[in-house]
Amino acid sequence: MGPVLAGVLQLLALIGALALAYIPLGNHMARVYSADRHWRVERWIYRGVGADPDTEMRWPAYLRAVLAFSLVGVLFLYLLQRLQGVLPGSLGFSSVNPAQSFNTAVSFVTNTNWQSYYGEQTMGHVVQTAGLAVQNFVSAAVGMAVAVALVRGFARSRTGEIGNFWADLVRGTVRILVPVAAVAAVVLVACGAIQNFSGIHEVGQFMGGSQQWNGGAVASQEAIKELGTNGGGYFNANSAHPFENPTPFTNLFEIFLILLIPFALTRTFGVMVGSVRQGYAILATMFTIWVGFVALMMWTEFTHHGPALQLAGGAMEGKEVRFGVGGSSIFAVSTTLTSTGAVDSFHSSFTGLGGGITLLSMMLGEIAPGGTGSGLYGILIMAVIAVFIAGLMVGRTPEYLGKKIGPREIKLSAVYILITPALALVLTALSMALPTPPHSMLNSGAHGFSEVLYAFTSAANNNGSAFAGLNANTDWFNTMTGIAMLLGRFLPMVFVLALAGSLAGQRPVPATAGTLRTEKPLFTGLLVGAILIITGLTYFPALALGPLAEGLAS
> In the chain, pLDDT over 90 holds for what percent of residues?
56
The predicted structure's pLDDT at residue 206: 67
Q: What is the mean pLDDT of residues 6-31?
A: 96
The predicted structure's pLDDT at residue 314: 58
Contact between 458 and 232 (Cβ < 8 Å): no
pLDDT at 247 over 90: yes
* CA–CA distance, 465 with 231 (Å, rounded to integer): 7
What are 444-471's pLDDT values in tens digits? 677 778 888 888 988 999 888 877 667 7
| pLDDT confidence band for 441 (50 / 70 / 90) | low
* CA–CA distance, 240 with 227 (Å, rounded to integer): 17
* CA–CA distance, 369 with 495 (Å, rounded to integer): 20
The predicted structure's pLDDT at residue 2: 77
| pLDDT confidence band for 484 (50 / 70 / 90) | very high
Q: What is the mean pLDDT of residues 169-185?
A: 97
What are 527-541's pLDDT values in tens digits? 999 999 888 788 887
> In the chain, pLDDT over 70 holds for what percent of residues?
94
pLDDT at 553 over 80: no
pLDDT at 11 over 80: yes
Q: What is the mean pLDDT of residues 51-56?
A: 93
**551, amino acid identity:** G
CB atoms within 10 A of CB 204: 9
The predicted structure's pLDDT at residue 511: 78
pLDDT at 310 over 60: no
Q: What is the mean pLDDT of residues 262-275?
A: 96
b/e map of 236-264 (b: 16 or more CB within 10 Å)?
A: ebbbbbebbbbebebbbbbbbbbbbbbbb
The predicted structure's pLDDT at residue 114: 86
pLDDT at 307 over 60: no
Q: How far is CA 94 from the centre of its chain?
A: 30
Kindly tell me the sign of the dihedral angle through the C-alpha atoms of 500, 506, 508, 512: negative
Q: How far is CA 55 from the centre of its chain?
A: 30
What are 371-424's pLDDT values in tens digits? 999 999 999 999 999 999 988 887 777 889 999 999 999 999 999 999 999 999
Which of the residue ranges 257-266, 426-435, 453-462 has the most confident prediction, judged by mean pLDDT? 257-266
What are 88-134's pLDDT values in tens digits? 888 888 899 898 899 999 999 999 988 888 777 888 889 999 999 99
The predicted structure's pLDDT at residue 447: 74
pLDDT at 311 over 80: no
pLDDT at 551 over 70: no
More confident residue, 437 or 140: 140
The predicted structure's pLDDT at residue 33: 97
The predicted structure's pLDDT at residue 215: 80
* CA–CA distance, 192 with 243 (Å, rounded to integer): 7
Of 356, 360, 363, give the one whose Cα is nearest residue 547. 356
* CA–CA distance, 554 with 551 (Å, rounded to integer): 5
| pLDDT confidence band for 63 (50 / 70 / 90) | very high
pLDDT at 13 over 90: yes
Read out DSSP for 166-207?
A: HHHHHHIIIIIIHHHHHHHHHHHHHTT-------EEEEE-TT
What are 339-357's pLDDT values in tens digits? 888 888 887 788 778 888 8
CB atoms within 10 A of CB 275: 17
Give the pTM. Answer: 0.93
Q: What is the mean pLDDT of residues 187-197?
A: 93
pLDDT at 26 over 80: yes
Pairing mode, if any, of strands 200-204 and 210-214? antiparallel
Taking all residues of the chain, what is their mean pLDDT, rounded to a whole number? 88
Q: What is the mean pLDDT of residues 214-222?
A: 88
* CA–CA distance, 183 with 191 (Å, rounded to integer): 13
| pLDDT confidence band for 303 (50 / 70 / 90) | confident
